[in-house]
Amino acid sequence: MTTTGDAAPPVGRQRYRLSQSFRYDYDGPVLSLLHRLVVVPPRRHGDQHLRLGALQVADHSAQVEWTGDEHGNRVGLVRLAVVPESVQMHVSVVVERHGEAAPLEVGLLGDPRLLGPSLKTGPDDAIRRLARDLVGREDDALAAADRVCAAVKELVRYEKGATTVATTAAQALAGGAGVCQDQTHVMLSVLRVAGIPCRYVSGHLVGQGGTHAWVEVLVPHASGARAVAFDPTHARRAHDGYVTVAVGRDYVDVPPTSGWYSGDARGTLSGRRELVREDLPGVETPAAAAGTGPDLRRSA
């Protein structure tokens, strides 16, 4: 496998190696599969730099296309005309974190996608009351986000199986339980009611077994805007153990894996994930000439 810029990092540089596998098993014939993967980070996000993004599809007839979306995310599309009983995909990612965070466009501060309700974050009266209780008119956005982050952890306890991917922020708050995406949706909904621009983050947390979700709050910066990350699942600001894969209005924009096919068969998903962080001193080496985009490899 060819790496891109996979060389000794400078002092203070951190490297993250992600290995992730997906397997779909089907109980009947499946045709015309289009599978969407949002599992490889963009070339740069904040102080995070992509060094390798590789996808292996265990079917030589698979067609793979890499594209982007309106939020700047990297999207992989896998197509199969005739689908075998199982489809296996493996993703390898190497990310390095160093230097200053890249500034964001100032226009994001007024972006209606980050200020208005989305499919999963539409507010109800309970969310509006929570916004009034937690955020004052003259509040600093980050101080307000700290309060909302802490409150959401208490109001929506972490409980697997309490919700589904169809659950909205209002439903999760009313039920008082959910998983990271539900807590993130509630925080997004409250902040947007208060007029604070924010976005959903899909990524990984070192030491955690599955994909994680958290919030980025956008605030003014000398050269545009900057994003500050908050994790309502743990009631804290995100630290360097977090690796961002994609951002959007809510989960609907960035599910790691989704797809469509023809046929009445049902598919069952299984998978595994490993994220390792390396703190290595050294001298910075620029990325290899091959670039930092995803690299497609197929294996039988």
Same domain, 192 and 74: no
119 in the same domain as 243: yes
Alpha-helix residue ranges (DSSP H) falling in 156-179: 169-175
- For residue 279, what is the domain's CATH number? 2.60.40.2250
Same domain, residue pair 146 and 112: yes
Domain boundary among 253, 271, 295: 253
Q: Is the pLDDT of residue 300 over 50?
A: no
How many CA within 13 A on the CB side of residue 13?
A: 20
* Contact between residue 24 and residue 86 where contact means Cβ atoms under 8 Å apart: yes
CATH of the domain at 230: 3.10.620.30
Q: How many domains does the chain have?
A: 2
Residue 124 exposed, middle or buried by CB count within 10 Å (0-12, 13-18, 19+): middle
28 and 123 belong to one structural domain: no
With respect to residue 295, please indicate whether it lies within any of the assigned structural domains.
no
Q: What is the pLDDT of residue 6?
A: 34
pLDDT score at 209? 74
pLDDT score at 282:
53
Calpha distance 138→136 (Å, rounded): 6
Same domain, 48 and 38: yes
Q: Is residue 9 part of a domain?
A: no
Domain extent for 60: 14-99+255-284
**275 and 242 within one domain:** no
Q: What is the percent of the chain with per-residue pLDDT over 90, rounded to a whole number?
A: 79
Residues 56 and 117 in one domain: no
CA atoms of 298 and 58, how far apart (whole Å):
6
pLDDT, tens digit, 9 for 90 and up, residues 254-279: 999 999 999 999 999 999 999 999 87
- Determine, yes or no, domain membership for 56: yes
Task: Name 54's bridge partners.
Answer: 92, 295
pLDDT confidence tier of residue 121, bands split at 50, 70 and 90: very high
Does residue 2 form part of some domain? no
Evaluate whether residue 239 is within a structural domain. yes
Q: Classify residue 161: in a domain, yes or no.
A: yes
The owner of tokens 């599809």 is 57
pLDDT tens by residue, 123-150: 999 999 999 999 987 789 999 999 999 9
- The pLDDT, as a whole number, for residue 2 is 28
Which of 236, 162, 150, 242 lies closest to 190 in space, CA to CA? 150
- Give CA–CA dist 253/234, Å, rounded: 23
Average pLDDT value over all residues in the chain: 89
Whether 3 is covered by a domain: the verdict is no
Above 90 in pLDDT, residue 297? Answer: no
Number of neighbouring beta carbons within 10 Å of residue 279: 10
Tell me, yes or no, whether 67 and 123 share the same domain: no
Sheet holding 242-248, edge to edge: 236-237, 224-231, 212-221, 198-205, 242-248
Spatial distance between the Cα atoms of 1 and 81, rounded to a whole number of angstroms: 27
pTM of the model: 0.89
Say yes or no: 81 and 110 in one domain: no
d(Cα 292, Cα 49) in Å, to the nearest integer?
A: 9
Contacts of 168 (CB under 8 A, 6+ apart): 119, 120, 121, 122, 185
Q: What is the mean pLDDT of residues 191-199?
A: 97
> Up-side HSE of residue 25: CA atoms within 13 Å toward CB?
4
3-class state of residue 155 by DSSP: helix
**Per-residue pLDDT averaged across 21-46, rounded?**
95
Q: Are residues 49 and 83 in the same domain?
A: yes
Q: Are 76 and 94 found together in one domain?
A: yes
- 186 and 236 assigned to the same domain: yes
Question: Using alpha carbons only, how large is the chain's radius of gyration in Å?
Answer: 20
DSSP of 88-115:
EEEEEEEEEE-SSPPPBPGGGGG-HHHH
What 8-state DSSP symbol labels residue 287? P
Neighbours of 195 (CB within 10 A): 12
Select from 176, 172, 180 the least CA-distant residue to 242: 180
Q: Does a structural domain hold residue 289?
A: no
For the residues 104-109, what does the mean pLDDT come to? 95
CA geometry: angle 9, 11, 13, nearest 5 deg = 55
